[in-house]
Amino acid sequence: MKLRELGIRLLVRFYPAAWRREFGEEFVDLLLRSPLSVPVLANVLVGAFGERVMNLFRRIVGGDEMADRTFNARYDRMAKIGTGIAVAVLVAVPLMAMRAGTVAAFVALVSAAVIGLGFAYSPRGYEISGGALRVKRLVGDVVFPLNTLRFVRDANAADFWGCVRLWGSGGLFGYYGLFWSKALGRSRWYVTDRSKAMILADGDRVILVSPDDREAFVAAIPHRDSAMTATASGSASGVAGSLVVGLAIGGVTLGLVASAMLYSPGRPPVDLTRDSLVIHSRFYGMTVLASSVDVSGVRVVDLQTDPDWKPVLRTGGFGNPFYRAGNFRTASGRAVKLFTTGTQRLLLLPPSREDGTPVLLDAADPDQLAARVRAEWSGR
């Protein structure tokens, strides 16, 4: 790009973004053909200021033609309820996990990421300008050119029959992502209200949107002809029923994630014999041979006063804020076999060999179990 064009494009940026989308390219072209004297520059800046003022006026008052090209994306009742439940769960889980220390931070981070990404990628509204439909999102608009539009119509029950969500959200901040149905094939959804879903298709893509005013939305599409638009009946009631499958999958997935994060089978039962300690962990059972343990080092460690033993990283096995079983790394970097429900005091079974792995075990009374182990295995 030449310096002159670069300067002109910077100058045009004084105009509001919506105006630039509609008139920007041709205005740049006009300025490229015009001599750029001081009065011309002043004239452009005055024009930009005027458009900025008009833009502000439109936002405050609304109701003119420019504003009519922007359409709201309002949530339907199911999206509101689904979003409320999902956010409540995602906020509650890290709060419940607070007692699990460092793990809580990870859970909170995951929850925040799910909520943040869900909101950022959700459609915030629609705008028709510059011959294209823009789906407004926090992370960037999705642009759908309208000059190759084949048809636009209301969605109906048949369109959603057997609908499956391949990727995206099925209720959290709307219904968006990649979906599949027999009638539509693969389609991209940017929907927040299923009863107002509209289908737009060109040669390659099928997308769904849900502008708050469908009639005005269709009217704002440039160069449309009557054959391009069609209204299907029964969309409002049909969409709700056919989306149950997608919502159910989303609900089950959310339920499974919540279960995995909250599940705890409790302290693992143990069987102590003269030769071994069998740990009956549901996910990661093991047998500790007496010969592999340095009995003189068997003791109870308190993770608060002895933070070096604090498990900080799972390298194998199962772990959530309420139950951890498997291979972990401690704060000091040591590998351990860990079985805990999240308590601070754990029985330590140190290895007899230098290359062995210590075992940290949660017990109802760790002091008593330590005494039993020492009594059982001493003098072997």
Partner 1 sequence: MARKPKAGPASDPEMLILASLASGPKHGYAVMGDVEAFSGVTMGPGTLYTAITRLVEKKLIVPKASPGRQRPYQLTRTGARLLGTQLNDMQRVAAAGLERLRTA
Binds partner 1 (CB under 8 A): choice among 1, 2, 10, 39: 39
- The answer to the question of residue 6 lying near partner 1 (CB under 8 A) is no
CB 136 to partner 1: min, Å:
21
How far apart (Å, rounded) are the C-alpha atoms in residues 3 and 40? 18
Lay out the sheet containing 335-340: strands in order across. 299-302, 345-349, 359-361, 335-340, 323-330, 311-320
- The answer to the question of residue 223 lying near partner 1 (CB under 8 A) is yes
CB 251 to partner 1: min, Å:
46
- The answer to the question of residue 233 lying near partner 1 (CB under 8 A) is no
Q: Of 154, 189, 158, nearest to 172 (Cα)?
A: 189
Tokens representing 206? 């099928």
- The answer to the question of residue 148 lying near partner 1 (CB under 8 A) is no
Binds partner 1 (CB under 8 A): choice among 28, 91, 183, 257: 28
Each residue 50-89 as x (binds partner 1 by CB under 8 A) or -, in order, gives xx------------xxx-----------------------
- The answer to the question of residue 5 lying near partner 1 (CB under 8 A) is no
- The answer to the question of residue 10 lying near partner 1 (CB under 8 A) is no
Q: Mapping DSSP to helix (H, G, I), strand (E, B) and coil, where does residue 58 land? A: helix
Q: How many CB atoms lie within 10 A of CB 335?
A: 15
Which whole-number Å values give the CA distances from 180 to 85, 145, 164, in the listed order?
25, 22, 5
The amino acid at 372: R
Mark the segment that binds partner 1 (CB under 8 A) among 44-52, 97-105, 209-217, 332-340: 44-52
Q: State the burial class of residue 343 (Cβ atoms within 10 Å of its Cβ: 0-12, 13-18, 19+).
A: middle
- The answer to the question of residue 155 lying near partner 1 (CB under 8 A) is no
Characterise 287 by phi-psi region: left (phi > 0), alpha (psi -120 to 50), beta (else). Answer: beta
**Shorter beta-carbon distance to partner 1: residue 1 or 364:** 1
CB 38 to partner 1: min, Å:
9
How far apart (Å, rounded) are the C-alpha atoms in residues 79 and 167? 17
**Shorter beta-carbon distance to partner 1: residue 176 or 217:** 217
- The answer to the question of residue 213 lying near partner 1 (CB under 8 A) is no
Residues forming contacts to partner 1 in the complex (CB under 8 A) are 19, 22-23, 25-31, 33-35, 37, 39-40, 43-48, 50-51, 64-66, 131, 147, 222-223
